[in-house]
Amino acid sequence: MNRYAPVLRALGMIIMLFALTLLAPLILSYVVDDGAQAVYDEVFALTLLCGCFLWYRYRNVQRELNVRDGFLMVVLVWTVLPAFAALPFMLQLGVSHTDAYFEAMSGLTTTGATVLAGLDDLPMSINLWRHLLVWIGAMGLIVLAIAILPLLGIGGRQMFKAETPGPMKDAKLTPRIASTAKGLWIVYVGVTLLCIAGYRWAGMSWFDAVCHAFSTMGLGGFSTHDASYGYFDSSAIEAVAIVFMLIAGMNFGTLFLAVSRGSLRPYLHDPEARWFLVVCVVSVIGIAVFLRVNDIYPGMGEALRHAAFNVVSIATTTGYASVDYAQWPLFAPLWMLFLCSFATSAGSTGGGIKMARALLLYKQVYREILRAMHPRAIHSVRIGGQVAPSGILFAVLAFGFMYMVSLVSLTLLLLFTGLDVMTAFTAIVASVNNTGPGLGEVGPSTTFAVLNDFQTWVCIFAMLLGRLEIFTLLVVLTPAFWRR
Amino acid sequence: MNRYAPVLRALGMIIMLFALTLLAPLILSYVVDDGAQAVYDEVFALTLLCGCFLWYRYRNVQRELNVRDGFLMVVLVWTVLPAFAALPFMLQLGVSHTDAYFEAMSGLTTTGATVLAGLDDLPMSINLWRHLLVWIGAMGLIVLAIAILPLLGIGGRQMFKAETPGPMKDAKLTPRIASTAKGLWIVYVGVTLLCIAGYRWAGMSWFDAVCHAFSTMGLGGFSTHDASYGYFDSSAIEAVAIVFMLIAGMNFGTLFLAVSRGSLRPYLHDPEARWFLVVCVVSVIGIAVFLRVNDIYPGMGEALRHAAFNVVSIATTTGYASVDYAQWPLFAPLWMLFLCSFATSAGSTGGGIKMARALLLYKQVYREILRAMHPRAIHSVRIGGQVAPSGILFAVLAFGFMYMVSLVSLTLLLLFTGLDVMTAFTAIVASVNNTGPGLGEVGPSTTFAVLNDFQTWVCIFAMLLGRLEIFTLLVVLTPAFWRR
Ligand SMILES: [K+]
Ligand SMILES: [K+]
């Protein structure tokens, strides 16, 4: 038991901190008197107690966290916190523990798929809690993606370390995370405040502005309305959303540099940002033309508006919808799901394999083709002007391979349960990439509530697998991990 | 034009040689007077003339083939020969050019999927031609897989060069191929004669014995009967088939060594053979128990007999069926299709990613997990006791990634055409792995004739992609290949 003591102590502290975030919906619930007060009282007390107990039990442990502890802690945080986060949904809304856990996991992994219908009529505090989960999950993700995963060497993440600010030479986990995280969180909070202001200016209520700013900055995709952004039907609001989704889809480290230097130059030196923006702009224009040619919208302006919002929403793995794009000719939504599998940057809150890895995968496949044509020449893979070390390339290729294996095997698993292929495949793609809505029965106009319990658990696993970049979870699921 | 002259001259010679193989069905047709004589006269003359013309046109070219020519020639051989091979099907049976090309491609790639029904009533010479195509395709494949692809450095094929007999230091293509091929072909012909004798002894007619020996040794899976091996319903015949399918599923280089040394020891030192046999035996026993438990067959003996034949048939990418295994509970046929994607050896006539690559992929994914757990330790990937060079590992990982990408994208393409998922996915798996029968509408009891023309061409492309190990085709499809 002692072996896991440092992890459990840290987990206890995280649960205690997490309990404090429950104060937000608790206070709101008392202020607006939406009937959920008692539930938050109970859940807050229970969560705080559990956290305190763990922390108190192991408070005297001196050992620092090592790399192996890091893996265990990441997996524990992303599986235990959703269990606490699910309690308000179970107790207040009476949904099953499976659906409640799905909703919480969907929030904390910033997936934004929902099993709840009638969002407009939920207690305000429940909606705040859903959106806050996305924002907290994204905050945790920033630490995970920028500080922890590179240290753990997951899927070539080391490569992207150089791009983040601050000294990164230390071998122990804790001090570095704290210093890196602090700077990034300040930026994250600042941009979120700007986003709230933007939404309010564009016409949202304060409550909607706060909620949607949370789910925009986390690229989560939750909304307080069943019709998502279709409810507002406002170009101004959509424009604000597009700007902030694009910002959140790029590396927060780059944003941090840009803010601290007061210059956009860091973005020019960020190869991921460049390709991300190119891919988004080209896809928006292409799909707008495609929609106009297919006569889906009477004018080019309207086609451009809907293409811009929905393509950026899916490509950044956010998952908002302003129209039911599943009704567009199939090429368009499938292309959007294809984009969400690779468009966002490695240091962002987006999902998928990330642009950095996608570029490396493309370059490596092309290198193999060149190597076959010119076997004696030296072919190196470069990223950002530097030759990528082979350890990184192996990690990225292994990641790409396991990503594809995950998609195929989890889709087959859903097909076994009797789902149709469109629903099964897009549910897995949307879950593994932490995007949210798929197509078919889990399209933008419906919810994941149509899935049975087993199917829901498969999607929960897929969301977790994607959020933890596959190998974090694989490592912990390996017998060798548990051997002394 | 001159640039491609050496390739075209060589292609001319190959077409001329190929024309000679048409003499076999031609002579049989005259002997048994099955009414197809005139067709073979025409096709033989046309093929020979085309080959002569090409060769005569470029007979004075002196330049040797280089590596780039090698790629072009492999792709040309595997696309042009099926066009000539398809002519008897078009002219005698009156099938469409799409279906005829499919049947010829299916034969020459040793896939063994058929669009023809009423096989029992076909002219004997047509059946001989179908089976001969498999045998010739497999002969060409042995050259391709053992002599050419390693030189071209496709998907880590270099790794397996060491296992093949003969000196392999030369840089030019032609002399080496000849010397390597000769020894292997002698073994191949010898084993085929043994197989014919075995089938005859077990009770087949001479004609059936010859045809089925051809498609067994080539791991093709064509039969002269619609019911495939169900027609014979003979344990003896099935036992003979199992023995020779297993032999053909292992490296012919190992067989060559074993024969020339008169010892089974080379198989003990062949890591692919060991794992191939383990996987086959375990799967046969497992599926036999599974069938018995599910009460598909009344006795364990019967379950074992049918499991042994059909599992070995699919795992070796042969594609015979003695019963309609698509009627078994879905786990069994899906497991069989899973096996066919990796079980056979790199120097065999089987399809799929090959055991050598599968082992390397597994080891690399595991290495990434270990590397994440112990970042400072050195983790090398070994195969057959040697550390695998990183160039090989990159090639294999890139191959594995592109293999998965091919499965997913081609399946999506078929789904677009309106096929159901089971048919689409298994048709692609069975085509890319050169196995033959899939499930659903293209299961063992039906044919690929249910596909429309576009779907048929997708499967043709998939068969070719799999047979040419993906990158051979990718290289030739790259614009850089055609630049001077
Ligand atoms: K999302
Ligand atoms: K076959």
B68 contacts on A by Cβ (under 8 Å): 373
For residue A404, the chain B residue with the least C-alpha distance is B404
Residues 323-342 of B with CB under 8 A from A: 330, 334
Residue A434 Cα to ligand 1 midpoint, Å, equals 5
Our measurement of the distance from residue A373's CA atom to the centroid of its chain's CA atoms, rounded to an integer in Å, reads 40
Residues 363-382 of B with CB under 8 A from A: 364-365, 367-375
Assess contact for B56 and B3: CB atoms under 8 A: no
- In this predicted structure, the answer to whether residue B151 has a pLDDT above a threshold of 70 is no
Looking at the complex, does the CB of residue B35 fall below 8 Å from at least one CB of chain A?
no
Residue with tokens 């990641």: A399
Give phi and psi for B294, each to the nearest 5: -80, 5
Question: Which residues touch A366 (CB under 8 Å, ≥6 apart)?
Answer: none
Chain B: nearest CA to A148, how far in angstroms?
12
**Closest to B183 measured CA to CA, from B244, B255, B256:** B256
Q: DSSP assignment, residue B116? A: -
Q: How far apart are CA A399 and CA A478, in angstroms?
A: 16
Q: What is the pLDDT of residue B162?
A: 44
Neighbours of B161 (CB within 10 A): 18
Encode pLDDT of A89-99 as tens digits.
Answer: 999 998 999 99
Segment B195-212 mean pLDDT: 94
In this complex, the residue of B330, B375, B401 whose CB is nearest that of residue A404 is B401
Q: What is the pLDDT of residue B169?
A: 31
**Cα-Cα-Cα-Cα dihedral sign, residues B150, B152, B154, B159:** positive
Assess contact for A99 and A89: CB atoms under 8 A: yes
Chain B: nearest CA to A41, how far in angstroms?
41
**Cα-Cα-Cα-Cα dihedral sign, residues B135, B471, B357, B322:** negative
Residue A215 Cα to ligand 1 midpoint, Å, equals 8
Q: What is the pLDDT of residue B105?
A: 95
Encode pLDDT of A420-467 as tens digits.
Answer: 878 888 999 999 999 988 888 888 888 888 899 999 999 999 999 999
**Higher pLDDT, residue B154 or A86:** A86
- In this predicted structure, the answer to whether residue B244 has a pLDDT above a threshold of 70 is yes
Percent of chain B past pLDDT 90, that is, above it, reads: 44
Our measurement of the distance from residue B478's CA atom to the centroid of its chain's CA atoms, rounded to an integer in Å, reads 25
Q: How far apart are CA B345 and CA B249, in angstroms?
A: 6
The two three-digit tokens of residue A449, written as one number = 């509530």
Residue-wise over A269-285: b if at least 16 C-beta within 10 A, else e?
ebbbbebbbebbeebbe
Which ligand neighbours the alpha carbon of B436 most closely? 2
Q: How far apart are CA A270 and CA A290, in angstroms?
A: 30
Contact state of A371 with B361 under an 8 Å Cβ cutoff = no
Residue B214 Cα to ligand 2 midpoint, Å, equals 12
Assess contact for B280 and B315: CB atoms under 8 A: yes
Encode pLDDT of A225-257 as tens digits.
Answer: 998 999 999 999 999 999 999 999 998 888 888
Q: How far apart are CA A102 and CA B475, in angstroms?
A: 45
Q: What is the pLDDT of residue A169?
A: 31
- In this predicted structure, the answer to whether residue B160 has a pLDDT above a threshold of 70 is no
Q: How far apart are CA B415 and CA B423, in angstroms?
A: 9
B415 contacts on A by Cβ (under 8 Å): 421-422
| Coil, helix or strand at residue A439 | coil
Assess contact for A177 and A190: CB atoms under 8 A: no
Q: What is the pLDDT of residue B96?
A: 92
Q: What is the pLDDT of residue B45?
A: 93
Segment B59-65 mean pLDDT: 77
Encode pLDDT of B320-378 as tens digits.
Answer: 999 999 899 888 888 898 899 999 988 788 888 998 888 888 888 888 888 777 777 77
Encode pLDDT of A155-181 as tens digits.
Answer: 666 655 444 333 333 334 455 666 667
Give phi and psi for A330, each to the nearest 5: -50, -30
Which ligand neighbours the alpha carbon of A220 most closely? 1
- In this predicted structure, the answer to whether residue B386 has a pLDDT above a threshold of 60 is yes
Q: What is the pLDDT of residue A156?
A: 66
In this complex, the residue of B155, B398, B404 whose CB is nearest that of residue A405 is B404
- In this predicted structure, the answer to whether residue B311 has a pLDDT above a threshold of 60 is yes
**Cα-Cα-Cα-Cα dihedral sign, residues A455, A461, A465, A471:** negative
Q: What is the pLDDT of residue A197?
A: 95
In this complex, the residue of A397, A412, A422 whose CB is nearest that of residue B397 is A397
Average pLDDT over chain B reads 86
Q: What is the pLDDT of residue A404?
A: 86
Assess contact for B71 and B152: CB atoms under 8 A: yes
Give phi and psi for A382, each to the nearest 5: -115, 145
Encode pLDDT of A34-91 as tens digits.
Answer: 888 889 999 999 999 999 999 888 888 777 777 788 888 889 999 999 999 999 999 9
Q: DSSP assignment, residue A384? A: T
Beta strands in B356-473 (DSSP E): 382-383, 386-387
Which ligand neighbours the alpha carbon of A463 most closely? 1
In Å, how far are A117, A444, B40, B315 from A120, measured between CA atoms? 9, 16, 75, 54
Average pLDDT over chain A reads 86
Q: What is the pLDDT of residue A25?
A: 93
Residues 420-459 of A with CB under 8 A from B: 420-422, 424
Please give the interface size between A and B, counted as residue pairs whose CB atoms are below 8 Å apart. 124
- In this predicted structure, the answer to whether residue A344 has a pLDDT above a threshold of 60 is yes
Encode pLDDT of B417-432 as tens digits.
Answer: 878 878 888 999 999 9
Provide the ipTM: 0.79
Q: What is the pLDDT of residue B172?
A: 44
| Coil, helix or strand at residue B273 | helix
Beta strands in B291-423 (DSSP E): 382-383, 386-387
Chain A: nearest CA to B183, how far in angstroms?
27
- The confidence band for B107, taking pLDDT boundaries of 50, 70 and 90, is very high
Q: H or E element: which one contains B52?
A: helix B37-57
Segment B405-420 mean pLDDT: 84
Segment A107-124 mean pLDDT: 90
Assess contact for B211 and B340: CB atoms under 8 A: no
Radius of gyration of chain A (CA): 22
Q: How far apart are CA B391 and CA B403, in angstroms?
A: 18
Our measurement of the distance from residue A180's CA atom to the centroid of its chain's CA atoms, rounded to an integer in Å, reads 19
Q: How far apart are CA A254 and CA B123, in angstroms?
A: 72
Encode pLDDT of A351-410 as tens digits.
Answer: 889 988 888 888 888 888 887 777 777 777 776 677 778 888 888 888 888 898 898 889
Q: How far apart are CA B171 and CA B177, in angstroms?
A: 11
**Cα-Cα-Cα-Cα dihedral sign, residues B470, B471, B472, B473:** positive
For residue B429, the chain A residue with the least C-alpha distance is A408
Encode pLDDT of A125-155 as tens digits.
Answer: 999 999 999 999 998 887 776 666 666 666 6
Q: How far apart are CA A213 and CA A192, in angstroms?
A: 6
**Chain B interface, mutation test: which of A401, A404, A469, most B Cβ atoms within 10 Å?**
A401
Looking at the complex, does the CB of residue A194 fall below 8 Å from at least one CB of chain B?
no
String of DSSP letters for B276-304: HHHHHHHHHHHHHHHHHHTTSSSSHHHHH
Looking at the complex, does the CB of residue B170 fall below 8 Å from at least one CB of chain A?
no
Residue B392 Cα to ligand 2 midpoint, Å, equals 27
Contact state of B369 with A412 under an 8 Å Cβ cutoff = no
Residue-wise over A397-421: b if at least 16 C-beta within 10 A, else e?
bbbbbbbbbbbbebbbbbbeeebeb
- In this predicted structure, the answer to whether residue A334 has a pLDDT above a threshold of 50 is yes
Residue B42 Cα to ligand 2 midpoint, Å, equals 29
In Å, how far are A391, B112, B345 from B430, measured between CA atoms? 34, 10, 17
- The confidence band for B174, taking pLDDT boundaries of 50, 70 and 90, is low
Contact state of A398 with B71 under an 8 Å Cβ cutoff = no
